[in-house]
């Protein structure tokens, strides 16, 4: 029997992966994802991590199945070919070019924003290959204030947006996020929106937790309130379970009674 879910997009940290659990990705969820892949579904890990960070954590998780696609730093797409993940083109090249052009336009303002943050908060402010301004705040209250200031700045720059996860934030191009990357994967694989499942727990998941990109939306008991609210407002499923157990529960919810409960 073919699954009704043909494309499964899961956030990583706090969704399928729990750092201090053993194993960090539940065995039951791994078996379920593997069975879905066997029946033709494709699995996407859709994360804010970069390649090296994700691969290190996946290696420690001792997974018996592998995702078919990765979305990294919320925007770059990689497809698994054999034992390696290769960049999806022209998406990644276009993504890099558009970000480079955007960040040139805001370059002169970065020092002033960094000074504003450093004068008010005990935060770590730096640049990396993915953003000219990255912030790690000391707590969520500080990040709320920093986020508001960055949103205010971004509102005056066409195409600029702020991506936040917990106490972490950075700039990005508004055309590239977890949702638009998922839509590109669906387009490439010929999967229709009603056949797409998406699950996440934090603010950077909000762009993909939309009916525009996934017909089956889910979140977890450990999700932040904004995510729970958005999923509920769109008729999605809020699992009473947390993290990986919640993802397995949400998948079974949408697969229905005909799906073997033992998987």
Task: Examine the domain organization and report whether 168 and 185 are in the same domain.
Answer: no
Range(s) of the domain holding residue 241? 7-74+177-255
Counting the structural domains of the chain, the total is 2
Task: Examine the domain organization and report whether 145 and 188 are in the same domain.
Answer: no
pLDDT on residue 1: 46
pLDDT on residue 60: 87
Q: What is the pLDDT of residues 69-104, one digit of tens each?
A: 999 999 999 999 988 999 999 999 999 999 999 999
CATH of the domain at 185: 3.40.50.1000
Q: What is the pLDDT of residues 204-262, one digit of tens each?
A: 999 999 999 999 999 999 999 999 999 999 999 999 999 999 999 999 999 985 555 54
pLDDT on residue 128: 96
pLDDT at 185 over 70: yes
DSSP symbols for 118-157: HHH---EEEEETTEEEEEE-SSHHHHHHHHHHHHHHHTTS
Q: What is the pLDDT of residues 129-165, one digit of tens each?
A: 999 999 999 999 999 999 999 999 999 999 999 999 9
Asked if residue 106 belongs to a domain, the reply is yes
Task: Examine the domain organization and report whether 62 and 19 are in the same domain.
Answer: yes
pLDDT on residue 3: 65
């Amino acid at each position: 029997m073919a699954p009704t879910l043909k494309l499964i997009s899961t956030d990583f940290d706090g969704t399928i992966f729990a750092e201090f659990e053993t194993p960090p990705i539940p065995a039951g969820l791994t078996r379920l994802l593997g069975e879905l892949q066997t029946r033709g579904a494709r699995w996407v890990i859709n994360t804010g991590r970069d390649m090296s960070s994700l691969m290190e954590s996946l290696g420690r998780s001792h997974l018996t199945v592998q995702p078919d696609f990765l979305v990294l730093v919320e925007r770059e797409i990689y497809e698994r070919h054999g034992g390696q993940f290769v960049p999806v083109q022209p998406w990644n090249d276009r993504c890099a070019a558009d970000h480079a052009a955007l960040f040139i336009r805001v370059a002169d303002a970065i020092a002033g924003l960094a000074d504003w943050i450093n004068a008010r908060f005990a935060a770590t402010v730096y640049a990396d290959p993915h953003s000219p301004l990255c912030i790690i705040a000391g707590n969520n209250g500080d990040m709320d204030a920093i986020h508001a200031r960055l949103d205010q700045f971004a509102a005056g720059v066409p195409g600029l947006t702020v991506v936040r996860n917990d106490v972490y934030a950075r700039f990005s191009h508004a055309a590239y996020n977890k949702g638009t990357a998922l839509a590109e994967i669906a387009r490439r694989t010929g999967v229709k929106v009603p056949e797409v499942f998406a699950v996440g727990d934090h603010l950077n998941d909000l762009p993909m937790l939309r009916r525009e990109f996934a017909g089956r939306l889910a979140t977890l008991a450990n999700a932040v309130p904004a995510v729970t609210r958005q999923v509920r407002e769109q008729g999605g499923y809020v699992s009473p379970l947390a993290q990986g157990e919640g993802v397995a529960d949400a998948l079974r919810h949408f697969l229905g009674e005909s799906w073997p409960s033992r998987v």
